[in-house]
Amino acid sequence: MSTTLSDLTTHFRQAFGGEPDFIARAPGRVNLLGEHVDYNDGWVLPIAIDRAARLAVRATGGETVALSAVDIDARVEFRLADLEAKVAGDGAALPGWARYAAGVAWALRERGLAVAGLQAALTSDVPRGAGLSSSAAVEVAYATAWQRAGGWSLAPMELARLCQRAENAYVGVNCGIMDQFASACGQAGYALLLDCRTLEWGPLPLPAGVAVVVADTMVRRELGSSEYNVRRAHCEEAVRLLAGPLPGIRALRDVSVADFRRHAHRLPELVARRAQHVVEECDRTQRAVGLLRAGDAAAFGQLMNDCHASLRDLYAVSCPELDVMTAEAQALPGCYGARLTGAGFGGCTVNLIQAEAAEDFRRELAARYERAVGRKPEIYVCQAAAGAGVLPDAAGR
């Protein structure tokens, strides 16, 4: 990682004097399967990755929160009494990076939990803007820190829901629960199957001898609110039109593949394509459960390949760079499956790779992508990691 734990502790001493009480850690995440189904009440299959936000913390009590962002060399202070006003110590608006901390404090206090002043130095090796949930990692790290400092304890899913509320209602980003959930609830060596309707979840073992490789195209084309809203509207329109022959459905997750094929002719062509992706992606994620339990990496990887084709051809959220990265990956030895991950239009692909081939795969994929598009990617070999927690001592030992 770019800032070691020793460097983080040194920065804390320079910023605040003395030693931190503890270091909180919360990982980023990548979604293996189940894309664009969360807002259709479907199932998602993320893992927490071994890249994380880390927070060196000293509890100070009182009302003042003093923050130092190591990676961008910025500092700010705010008072907990000023959370509603969203202002820093000088009365100016809180900078965007500090709103995640303020939002978490606000959500925790709204829940009636003890939140007091602290000093904290933040660093993260979760790339920003790459679709790996860098903001959720930061939120969950702050929630973990206030939980430790306050002496209270919540279940990881409840902590995740409060962080989601912070991002929705305070930061102003209408995200689902998956990102904070994976950061809070991750388990080393396991994917997490989450039912986005009921919030029931459970771990599923990753096949033995695999690595997860995340390949960043370095293209940042954020999914515009208009495109996102259009796709949501198409899904809602499909439910409305299918509710006639399929009474009782509440979301596309309630429509089987067989029922969709029987009634797809009732939908406008574009709506049908969008709905087909969601219905079939829900089915893929359900089929993946048995494959992971059986340790069948090849069959699971094929579901990932099928997912990318669906996101490209039916849901239309890919881009040329993502398609190049995916096609080059699928052609390399040791690759079980590859697809875009996240909202699309840029960002990362996720690749399931034979562990012994992962480093060769990483180097060759980077070279092929750079030759094809003229852009140098960032490619990381990852493992499924544990969720958020407090390191045993301030030095991270």
Is 223 within a domain? no
CA angle 96/98/104 to nearest 5° reads 115
The pLDDT of residue 220: 80
pLDDT at 224 over 70: no
The pLDDT of residue 229: 82
The neighbour count for residue 290, using CB atoms within 10 Å, is 12
Cα 191 from Cα 310, distance rounded (Å): 22
pLDDT at 157 over 70: yes
- Which residues does 89 contact at the CB level (< 8 Å), separation at least 6? 64, 76, 77, 78, 79
Is 80 within a domain? yes
Contact 390, 23 (CB under 8 A): yes
pLDDT at 223 over 70: no
Instruction: Provide the pLDDT confidence category of residue 396 given band limits of 50, 70 and 90.
Output: very low
The pLDDT of residue 233: 93
Is 371 within a domain? no
Residue 21 appears among annotated catalytic residues? no
φ, ψ (nearest 5 deg) of residue 85: -80, -15
Percentage of the residues of the chain whose pLDDT score is greater than 70: 97
pTM to 2 decimal places: 0.91
Instruction: Provide the pLDDT confidence category of residue 259 given band limits of 50, 70 and 90.
Output: very high
The pLDDT of residue 290: 98
Distances (CA, A) of 132 to 31, 286, 296, 314: 8, 23, 25, 23
Residues 6-54 have pLDDT tens digits of 999 999 999 999 999 999 999 999 999 999 999 999 999 999 999 999 9
The pLDDT of residue 2: 64
Q: Strands 118-124 and 64-69, how do they pair?
A: parallel
Residues 165-207 have pLDDT tens digits of 999 899 988 788 999 999 999 999 999 999 999 999 999 999 9
The pLDDT of residue 172: 86
The pLDDT of residue 242: 98
Residues 103-129 have pLDDT tens digits of 999 999 999 999 999 999 999 998 887
Is 267 within a domain? no
From 50, 179, 254, 283, active-site residue:
179
Is 225 within a domain? no
Mean of the pLDDT values across residues 295-320?
A: 97
User: What CATH number did the domain enclosing 15 receive?
Assistant: 3.30.230.10
Is 388 within a domain? no
If DSSP states are collapsed to H, E and C, what string results for the chain?
CCCCHHHHHHHHHHHHCCCCCEEEEEEEEEEEECCCCHHHCCEEEEEEEEEEEEEEEEECCCCEEEEEECCCCEEEEEEHHHCCCCECCCCCECCHHHHHHHHHHHHHHHCCCCCCCEEEEEEECCCCCCCCCHHHHHHHHHHHHHHHHHCCCCCHHHHHHHHHHHHHHHHCCCCCCHHHHHHHHCCCCEEEEEECCCCCEEEEECCCCEEEEEEECCCCCCCCHHHHHHHHHHHHHHHHHHCCCCCCCCCHHHCCHHHHHHHHHHCCHHHHHHHHHHHHHHHHHHHHHHHHHCCCHHHHHHHHHHHHHHHHHCCCCCCHHHHHHHHHHHCCCCEEEEEEECCCCCCEEEEEEEHHHHHHHHHHHHHHHHHHHCCCCEEEEECECCCCEECCCCCCC
The pLDDT of residue 225: 56
pLDDT at 323 over 50: yes
Which tokens sit at 213?
């490789």
Mean of the pLDDT values across residues 317-324?
A: 96
The pLDDT of residue 175: 80
Residues 55-114 have pLDDT tens digits of 999 999 999 999 999 999 999 999 999 999 898 888 889 999 999 999 999 999 999 999
What b/e string do you get for 246-272 counting C-beta neighbours within 10 Å, with b at 16 or more? beebebbbbbeeeebeebbeebeeebb
Cα 164 from Cα 172, distance rounded (Å): 10
Is 295 within a domain? no
Average pLDDT, the chain: 94
Cα 151 from Cα 64, distance rounded (Å): 18
Is 50 within a domain? yes
Domain count, the chain: 1
Percentage of the residues of the chain whose pLDDT score is greater than 90: 87
pLDDT at 221 over 80: no
Cα 312 from Cα 308, distance rounded (Å): 6
**Domain span at residue 71?**
5-205
